[in-house]
Amino acid sequence: MCELQLLEERIRRDGKIGEGDVLKVDSFLNHRIDVRFLCELGQEFHRLFADCDVNKILTIEASGIGIACLTAQFFNCPVVFAKKTKTNNIYSDVYTSKVHSYTHQRDYDIVVSKEFLQPEDRVLIIDDFLAKGSAIMALADLIEHAGAHVVGAGIVIEKSYQPGAELVRSRGIRLESLARIRSMSVEHGIEFL
């Protein structure tokens, strides 16, 4: 069975649909991490973007970090993650963008130190979910502020019934999602595309 079918099966088995259109996959993807399984997903992202000369992966804290790291090993490149809070060890020389968190229902200013994104970088964005597209668009803004090139976005789970995928593609960003959900409800479960 291929990784995509295994992912859909895992979402059906271990995913929990909550109020507010939330899909909890924290038992394997973004709270407790099934490292071996995520390595297989990372290898699939490598297969999909192998022709893009990726030299850096960008994600957003915190739930994208695990899958980004496990993907980066196949590209043999570093991972940079945008921080949602500016800390004392990040100085004033940063790229900044704004993101709305659907899960937390609040806006964040995300930052990346300028030393970690350079104009010669070919950056692959990796994240666990795509719903409204705010995080991917904010990450793409950071890359563009740096003068670097967005080679694409790799998403583990896309909620295709929400506007994020269309928004990302309309900006000309190549989008590869490993699982695409057509619909989701407590009553009817999850239907994939």
Q: What is the pLDDT of residue 148?
A: 98
**Tens-digit pLDDT profile for residues 121-175:** 999 999 999 999 999 999 999 999 999 999 999 999 999 999 999 999 999 999 9
On whether the CB atoms of residues 176 and 157 are closer than 8 A, the answer is no
**Tens-digit pLDDT profile for residues 52-62:** 999 999 999 88
* Average pLDDT for 65-83: 96
Cis before 62? omega within 30: yes
Please identify which residue in the block is written with the tokens 């004033």: 92
* Cβ atoms within 10 Å, residue 1: 7
pLDDT: which is higher, 58 or 27: 58
* CA-angle at 24, arms to 178 and 96, nearest 5°: 70
Sorted by where each begins, the domain ranges of the chain are: 3-192
CATH code of 3-192, in short, is: 3.40.50.2020
Q: What is the pLDDT of residue 56?
A: 98
**Calpha distance 147→73 (Å, rounded):** 25
Q: Give me the chain's average pLDDT, please.
A: 91
Q: Can you give the pTM of this predicted structure?
A: 0.93
pLDDT: which is higher, 35 or 106: 35
